[in-house]
Amino acid sequence: MLESFGQRLQYSVFECYLRQEQVLRLKAKVEALLNLEEDSLIYFPLCAACHQRIEHLGVRKAPPVDEITYVV
């Protein structure tokens, strides 16, 4: 389900470029699927300054300028 919102970085780590309405839709879908007694999910929003300091090697799609970067 998370792959429809962003790119899988590792088995359970995703990088997502989202507008605010997409963030709300993602959170609603996740809440419907999550078993809070067994599962957990952490959202890491990255500010513009943090986003500029990301280091990456190899091929990478450039993030949209008007969207917030989340690591989920």
Residue 52: alpha-carbon gap to chain centroid: 16
* Degrees to nearest 5, angle at CA 52 with 48 and 56: 135
pLDDT tens track for 39-71: 988 888 888 788 778 887 887 666 666 667 776
Tokens of 27: 């959170």
Q: What ranges do the domains of the chain cover?
A: 2-71
pLDDT category of residue 25 using cuts at 50, 70 and 90: very high
Are the CB atoms for 20 and 68 separated by under 8 Å?
A: yes
Q: Model-level pTM?
A: 0.73
Alpha helices in the chain (DSSP H): 20-33, 48-52
